[in-house]
Amino acid sequence: MRAFARLLDDLSFTASRNAKLRLVRDFLAEQPDPDRGWALAALTGSLSFSAAKPAAIRKAVEARMDPVLFGWSYDYVGDLAETVALVWPARPGANREPDLAEVVEALRTATRGQVQPMIEGWLDALDADGRWALLKLLTGGLRVGVSSRLAKQACADLGGVAAPEVEEVWHALTPPYGDLFAWLEGRSARPSADTPGRFRSVMLAQALDEAVDFARLSPDDYLAEWKWDGIRIQAVSERGERRLYTRTGDDISHTFPDVLEAMTFEGALDGELLVMRDGVVGAFGDLQQRLNRKTVDAKLLKAFPAGIRAYDLLLDGEEDLRGLPFTERRKRLESFVSAAKSHRIDLSPLQPFETWEQLATLRAAPPEGDPRIAEGLMLKRRDSLYEAGRPKGPWFKWKRDPHLVDAVLMYAQRGHGRRSSFYSDFTFGVWREDAAGDRSLTPVGKAYFGFTDEELKQLDKFVRDNTVERFGPVRSVKANRDFGLVLEVAFEGLQRSTRHKSGVAMRFPRISRIRWDKPSRDADELATLERMLETP
């Protein structure tokens, strides 16, 4: 438990992805089975215990100390698990500290009545960090900034294999993953991935470089389709198992019962998960209403019905199609989708073209309907096999040019980790005219990348030299009609938002240029942004 507690503690304060990977990899390398396996299960969200409830834990601590003092402590700390971990009265001569495996195995078999005394015994035996880790484990949601993808990457690093290799076998494995570690440490063969409903590593596209690629590629070799603005999913229905995976192999089946129900086919589809109302695609914001939910109610299912726009077929019945060229798979996909006969599953249509110029025109001015809110175009080579990873050449994504707006820097916040000495998170605003005709800046977004290290230094200096006020780690920067720094901000889309004062929210904003030359009063107006709003 001690090593696991230390790992969670270190991870919770580490910002850099590489440092996190190293922490997890080292932990997996140093800790014995089955402790490390249970830890991996906890990190990837594969463990949950229903018997332990926060309310019971609160009751237990209030039985051991003055509830008023506990209340003040909770007010100060603000997090129940952390407060309990800190205030739990130490009991000298308490039991031996439990191992992680001991805790997990006991919880998996315990009845509700048995759980409470067990937890109290462990809290007595652990130190503050150990108690915190235990309570985080019990109440679910470690929130230490580790995605299951990162955890799998750390496994891959441990074994010196590529991440897709781990992702492919992942769903055939169960905690505490003894067979996985045996393989990664070269003590046994790779575990079999042949379980029904398993995930197959996806094929990804490269970004198209217009300046280089068109000159060397022939339009005759490629097929084009829209790049839909949802999330990439893999829908697998195999020998009675139905699963919906994200492109990194996270199982999100439970969030989309409506889609799962429609998967009456036998096979594995590659496609885009979208909100679809009578075959019309909703904006990304609609889909967001459905993502990352633990439970879905009938109202939500009705208001935001989800479906799949299919663009590839990996498995048809029992036949693996990944070794066939794209044109072959496409033919099979077309009959597969029409045989599925579901209003929740449709086909991503191909867009015929003859020259790159024609395609560019199409991308610049998409026709009425769904293509209007597509992210751009996809190009797939006719003969491309379905290869895991991001092979160079067969598939390209050609995104729409981003929207650009000139905004004025208003606030800056200190960054984290490597950037902690820099003001690197920038809030920017545009002009808004009120009823009296006065123009003032209203914040419309925040961006913390898009600039080079050298530009960051210049931005940091500008913030320090022109600070008006400080609020903790945030500084407000001089910005008015006559003075201010204009930032050209690029973003992918704009949605109405009730949470933002300006009424708009940008998607994926980044700083594309610093306009040292542009007077602040010439920055854009809110009205300009409002005209860009996506109308789904």
Partner 1 sequence: MVKLESLLCPTPAGLYCPPGDFYIDPVRPVPRAVITHGHSDHARAGHGDVAATPQTLDIMACRYGDDFATRRVALAWGETLSRDGVDISLAPAGHVLGSAQAVIRWKGVTAVVSGDYKRRRDPTCQRFEPVPCDLFVTEATFGLPVFRHPDAADEVARLLRSVERFPERTHLVGAYALGKAQRVIALLREAGWDRTIHVHGALLALNALYGRHGVDLGPIAPAGDAAGKLPGEIVLCPPSALADRWSRRFADPVSAFCSGWMRVRARARQRGVELPLVISDHADWDELTKTLAELSPGEVWITHGREEALLRWCELRGQPARALALVGYEDDAE
- Residues designated as active site: 227
| Binding of partner 1 by 404 (CB under 8 A) | no
Name which of 55 and 68 has its Cβ closer to partner 1: 68
Name which of 22 and 322 has its Cβ closer to partner 1: 22
Buried/exposed code over 383-417 (b: 16+ C-beta within 10 A; e: otherwise): ebbbbbeeeeebbbebebebbebbbbbbbbbbbee
- Residue 467 Cβ vs partner 1, minimum distance, rounded to whole Å: 14
Name which of 369 and 473 has its Cβ closer to partner 1: 473
- Residue 62 Cβ vs partner 1, minimum distance, rounded to whole Å: 12
Place of tokens 């830890």: 39
| Binding of partner 1 by 79 (CB under 8 A) | yes
Identity at 439, one-letter amino acid code = R
| Binding of partner 1 by 13 (CB under 8 A) | yes
Q: What does the per-residue mask of binding to partner 1 show for 51-70, with x meaning CB under 8 A?
A: --------------xx-xxx
- Residue 388 Cβ vs partner 1, minimum distance, rounded to whole Å: 32
Structure tokens, 406: 């000139």
Bridge partners, 412 (sequence order): 426, 475
| Binding of partner 1 by 466 (CB under 8 A) | no
HEC letters along 228-247: CCCEEEEEEEECCEEEEEEC
- Residue 447 Cβ vs partner 1, minimum distance, rounded to whole Å: 19
Nearest CA to 487 out of 536, 415, 426 is that of 426
Name which of 143 and 390 has its Cβ closer to partner 1: 143
- The stretch among 81-89, 206-214, 256-264, 322-330 that binds partner 1 (CB under 8 A) is 81-89
Q: How many CA atoms lie within 13 A of 161 on its CB side?
A: 19
**In the range 472-501, which residues lie near partner 1 by CB under 8 A?**
472-473
Name which of 92 and 367 has its Cβ closer to partner 1: 92
| Binding of partner 1 by 417 (CB under 8 A) | yes
- The stretch among 10-18, 106-114, 181-189, 337-345 that binds partner 1 (CB under 8 A) is 10-18
Structure tokens, 124: 């007595």
Q: Based on the number of CB atoms within 10 Å of its own CB, is 228 exposed (0-12), middle (13-18) or buried (19 or more)?
A: buried
Q: In this structure, are residues 297 and 303 in contact, taking their beta carbons and an 8 Å threshold?
A: no
CA distance 44 to 150: 9
Structure tokens, 419: 């950037």
| Binding of partner 1 by 253 (CB under 8 A) | no
Q: Which of 50, 109, 295, 421 binds partner 1 (CB under 8 A)?
A: 421
DSSP, res 520: G
| Binding of partner 1 by 73 (CB under 8 A) | yes
| Binding of partner 1 by 141 (CB under 8 A) | no
Would you tell me the crossing angle of helices 17-30 and 148-159 to the nearest 10 degrees? 60
| Binding of partner 1 by 116 (CB under 8 A) | no
- Give how many residues touch partner 1 by CB under 8 A: 35
Name which of 70 and 356 has its Cβ closer to partner 1: 70
Query: How many Cβ atoms sit within 10 Å of the Cβ of residue 490?
Result: 18
Residue 410 is inside which H or E element, if any?
strand 403-414
Place of tokens 């009265």: 89
CA pseudo-torsion sign 478, 481, 485, 491: positive
**In the range 117-136, which residues lie near partner 1 by CB under 8 A?**
127-128
Per CB under 8 A, residues contacting partner 1 are: 12-15, 19, 22-23, 26, 65-66, 68-70, 72-73, 76-79, 82-83, 86-87, 90, 127-128, 414-418, 420-421, 472-473
